[in-house]
Amino acid sequence: MIKDSPYYNKFFKEPWSYVTGAVILAILNVALFAASGSPWGVTSVFIYWGAWILQALGGHPETWAFFQGEAGKTLANGFLAHAGSFRNIGIIVGALLATLLASEFKIKKIKSGRQAIAAILGGLLMGYGARISFGCNIGALFSGIASMSLHGWIYLVFIFFGAWVGSKLLVKFFI
Partner 1 sequence: MSVSKTSKKKKKKVNQIPIGIALLILVIIIGYSIKDLGPKHPMSWMFGILFGYTLRSSRFCFTASLRDPVLTGGTSLTKAVIITIAIATIGFAGIQYGAFLRGEEIPGNINPAGIHIAIGAFMFGIGMVIAGGCASGTLMRVGEGFLMQVLALVFFVIGSLWGVKHIEFWESHFFSKGKALFLPDALGWFPALVLQFGLLFALYILADWFGNKSN
Partner 2 sequence: MGKEVKLDCLGEACPVPLIKTQKKIKDLDVGDTLIVEVDHSCAIKNVPEWARKEGYNCEIEEIDDGEWEIYIEKTK
Q: Which residues bind partner 2 (CB under 8 A)?
A: 15, 99, 103-106, 108-111, 115, 170-171, 174-175
Contact status, residue 72 vs residue 62, Cβ threshold 8 Å: yes
Examine residue 26 and tell whether it contacts partner 1 (CB under 8 A). Answer: yes
Cα dihedral 103/104/106/110 (nearest 10): -170
Q: Which does 154 bind (CB under 5 to 8 A by kind): partner 1, partner 2, none?
A: partner 1
Q: Are 45 and 74 in contact, with CB atoms under 8 Å apart?
A: no
Picked from partner 2, partner 1, none, the partner binding residue 56 (CB below 5 to 8 A depending on kind) is none
Contacts of 25 (CB under 8 A, 6+ apart): 142
Selection from partner 1, partner 2, none that 75 binds (CB < 5 to 8 A by kind) is none
Return the closest-CA partner of residue 60 out of 39, 75, 74. 75
130 binds, among partner 1, partner 2, none (CB under 5 to 8 A by kind): partner 1
Spatial contact of 143 and 135, defined as CB atoms under 8 Å apart = yes
175 binds, among partner 1, partner 2, none (CB under 5 to 8 A by kind): partner 2
Minimal distance, residue 68 CB to partner 1, in Å? 10
Burial group, residue 142, by CB count within 10 angstroms (0-12, 13-18, 19+): buried
Q: How far is the CB of 39 from partner 2 (least distance, A)?
A: 25
Compute φ and ψ for 148, nearest 5 degrees.
55, 45
> Among 28, 60, 73, 76, which residue sits at the site for partner 1 (rule: CB under 8 A)?
28
Which residues ranging from 71 to 130 are in contact with partner 1 (CB under 8 A)?
A: 80-81, 83-84, 86-101, 103-111, 115-116, 118-130
